[in-house]
């Protein structure tokens, strides 16, 4: 029975006051001078009638909807989307905003994505979050510029929009560091073949870490495959069977948890036990995989929740005039990728 058709006017009548007064007390307008008793009368009447404000009317009048648009690429295919959405939803809710979500296939044309943004614009969202499901460079619909916006998990081709991305370099360093700290000196990298920032940055960090540890980073074995379980299996098989025994890596850094899952299988087939004979670290911290493999996979977590929340916080700050997004647009903000220790790393034999 909460919001049938009762409006502010009905409350006014019931309380025997004007709509202004009702509006003032219900919105706790600071400069309003209203007696304690009137306030109570109004509140009681509103309560009794089950009054709830019509946010549409409010929005039309104030030019503020309190809605944030979230255009999300590939909501379904990756569990990452959920964490971004959750981070955004909780941050939004905490500040009195709600989320309008539009899914857009990763393959969607620029025009179709522009239409999605347009739909959000017509609903007068106060700002837009544009989230991609893996860290990459995107071409953005130009109507995104009509309203404060922030990019989540990508940077724009042509730059100039505030963005938040994971710290690929730091994450990769943490992963390789864990292996090095355990005493490994022969570590291999199973990389992705896609040309995305993560591929390049993780490789670079891998080599750099080894070199900084006094090892030959440039010579360290790297095998690339599609970033799926099967690819990880094949790459691991290759990397673990080459050259003579003394040169085979005792530790593997894998581009992601799925590839690590493939590496587990390769190890099993080769009679290598994890972590006794082979240490493995992944990337992504996909719960379903990392926590459920046996032994549990040590990996690096992608800050999806945090990126969603960060983006929302700053978007709202910008909307409320507390911050100037253009000041942050020069460089993407980088959020840490913490190491999640489980049981796949041990000292080499």
| Of 12-20, 129-137, 169-177, 251-259: span binding DNA (CB under 7 A) | 12-20
| Of 57-65, 196-204, 208-216, 315-323: span binding a copy of itself (CB under 8 A) | 57-65
3-state secondary structure 235-253: HHHHHHCCCCHHHCCCEEE
Q: Is residue 101 a contact point for a copy of itself (CB under 8 A)?
A: yes
Whether the CB-CB separation of 260 and 231 falls below 8 Å is answered with: no
Q: Is residue 115 a contact point for DNA (CB under 7 A)?
A: no
Q: Is residue 226 a contact point for a copy of itself (CB under 8 A)?
A: no
Binding residue for a copy of itself, selected from 44, 98, 241, 326, defined by CB under 8 A: 98
As measured in angstroms, the least distance from the Cβ of 256 to DNA is 46
Q: Within 245-284, which residues bind a copy of itself (CB under 8 A)?
A: 258, 261, 265, 268
Whether the CB-CB separation of 48 and 14 falls below 8 Å is answered with: yes
What distances in angstroms separate CA 153 from CA 21, 83, 173, 197, 289, one per listed residue? 46, 12, 19, 11, 21
Indicate the residue among 5 and 107 with the shorter CB distance to DNA.
Answer: 5
Across the beta sheet with 279-281, what order do the strands follow? Answer: 222-225, 187-192, 251-254, 279-281
| Of 2-10, 75-83, 101-109, 185-193: span binding DNA (CB under 7 A) | 2-10
Q: Is residue 328 a contact point for DNA (CB under 7 A)?
A: no
Q: For the packed helices 197-212 and 168-181, what is the interaxial angle rounded to 10 degrees?
A: 40
Q: Is residue 96 a contact point for DNA (CB under 7 A)?
A: no
Cα–Cα distance, 251 to 279 (Å, whole number) = 4
Whether the CB-CB separation of 208 and 174 falls below 8 Å is answered with: no
Indicate the residue among 13 and 108 with the shorter CB distance to DNA.
Answer: 13
The site partner of 89 among a copy of itself, DNA, none (C-beta below 5 to 8 Å per kind) is a copy of itself
Binding residue for a copy of itself, selected from 76, 219, 276, 347, defined by CB under 8 A: 76
| Of 23-31, 88-96, 219-227, 244-252: span binding a copy of itself (CB under 8 A) | 88-96
Backbone angles phi, psi at 165, to 5 degrees: -135, 165
Tell me the Cα Rg of the chain.
26
As measured in angstroms, the least distance from the Cβ of 288 to a copy of itself is 5
Using DSSP, how many helices (H) and how many strands (E) does the chain show?
A: 13, 12
Nearest to 70 by CA among 91, 95, 97, 99: 99
| Of 8-16, 82-90, 162-170, 312-320: span binding a copy of itself (CB under 8 A) | 82-90
Cα–Cα distance, 161 to 243 (Å, whole number) = 48
Instruction: Enumerate binding residues for a copy of itself (CB under 8 A).
Output: 1-4, 52-57, 59-60, 65, 67, 75-79, 81-83, 85-86, 89-90, 93, 98-103, 118-119, 121-124, 143, 146, 228-229, 233, 258, 261, 265, 268, 286, 288-289, 292, 294, 305
């Amino acid at each position: 029975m909460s919001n049938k058709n009762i409006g502010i006017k009905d409350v006014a009548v019931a309380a025997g006051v004007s709509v202004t007064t009702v509006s003032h007390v219900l919105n706790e307008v600071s400069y309003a001078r209203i007696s304690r008793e009137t306030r109570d009368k109004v509140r009681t009447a509103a309560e009794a009638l089950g009054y709830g404000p019509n946010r549409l009317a409010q929005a039309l009048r104030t030019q503020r909807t309190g809605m944030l648009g979230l255009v999300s690429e590939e909501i379904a295919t990756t569990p990452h989307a959920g964490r971004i959405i959750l981070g955004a939803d909780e941050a939004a809710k905490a500040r009195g905003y709600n989320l309008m979500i539009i899914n857009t296939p990763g393959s969607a044309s620029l025009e179709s994505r522009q239409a999605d943004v347009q739909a959000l614009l017509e609903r007068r969202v106060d700002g837009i979050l544009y989230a991609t499901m893996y860290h990459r460079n995107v071409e953005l619909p130009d109507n995104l510029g009509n309203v404060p916006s922030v990019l989540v998990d990508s940077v724009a081709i042509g730059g100039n929009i505030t963005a938040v991305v994971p710290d690929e370099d730091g994450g990769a360093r943490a992963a390789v560091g864990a292996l090095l700290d355990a005493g490994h000196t022969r570590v291999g990298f199973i990389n992705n073949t896609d040309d995305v920032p993560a591929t390049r940055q993780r490789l670079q960090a891998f080599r750099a870490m080894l070199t900084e540890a006094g090892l030959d980073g440039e010579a360290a074995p790297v095998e690339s495959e599609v970033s799926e379980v099967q690819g990880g299996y094949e790459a691991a098989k290759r990397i673990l069977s080459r050259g003579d025994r003394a040169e085979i890596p005792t530790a593997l850094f894998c581009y992601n948890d799925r590839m690590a899952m493939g590496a587990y299988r390769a190890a099993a087939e080769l009679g290598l036990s994890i972590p006794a004979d082979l240490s493995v670290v992944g990337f992504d911290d996909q719960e379903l995989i990392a926590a459920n493999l046996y032994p549990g996979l040590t990996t690096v977590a992608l800050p999806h929740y945090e990126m969603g929340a960060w983006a929302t916080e700053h978007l709202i700050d910008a909307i409320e005039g507390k911050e100037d997004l253009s000041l942050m647009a020069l460089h993407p903000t980088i959020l840490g990728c913490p190491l999640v220790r489980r049981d796949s790393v041990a000292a080499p034999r």
